[in-house]
Amino acid sequence: MTLSYHQAGSVLEIAIEEPHFEAGAARKFEEEVHHGPAFADAHSLNIDMGHVERIDSLAVHSLLALQEMMPQPQSVISLINPQPPVHRVLRMLRLDRVFRIESRPVAAA
């Protein structure tokens, strides 16, 4: 799984650079983020899902597990720019009640 990290104060931003966030990648994602840079100091976690075209139940489980692992009790996880099929899955599972789901302008390359 290819992830990129950016720390902005107490906000840890992670971009998932893969089109499929599924079974094998889900466990790696959870481990990499939990043991990755600055996770222990993060008050908020922004996960850029703009490249993710498909998500499965194990990936959803990994996101929920990260919510439980967040170091601060009032920590927030935001899912940024999910593609329409992924956004539908997140809404269908009512994960908009657990996570912030946001659309943001994409920076020009």
Spell out the per-residue pLDDT of the chain, length 109, in tens.
Answer: 889 998 888 899 999 999 999 988 888 888 888 887 778 888 899 999 999 999 999 999 999 998 888 877 788 999 999 999 999 999 999 999 999 999 988 765 5
Amino acid at 19: P
- Domains, the chain, ranges and CATH? 3-102 (3.30.750.24)
What predicted TM-score, i.e. pTM, was given to this entire model? 0.89
Q: What is the distance between the alpha carbons of residues 106 and 21, in angstroms, rounded to a whole number?
A: 20
Q: What is the distance between the alpha carbons of residues 58 and 28, in angstroms, rounded to a whole number?
A: 11
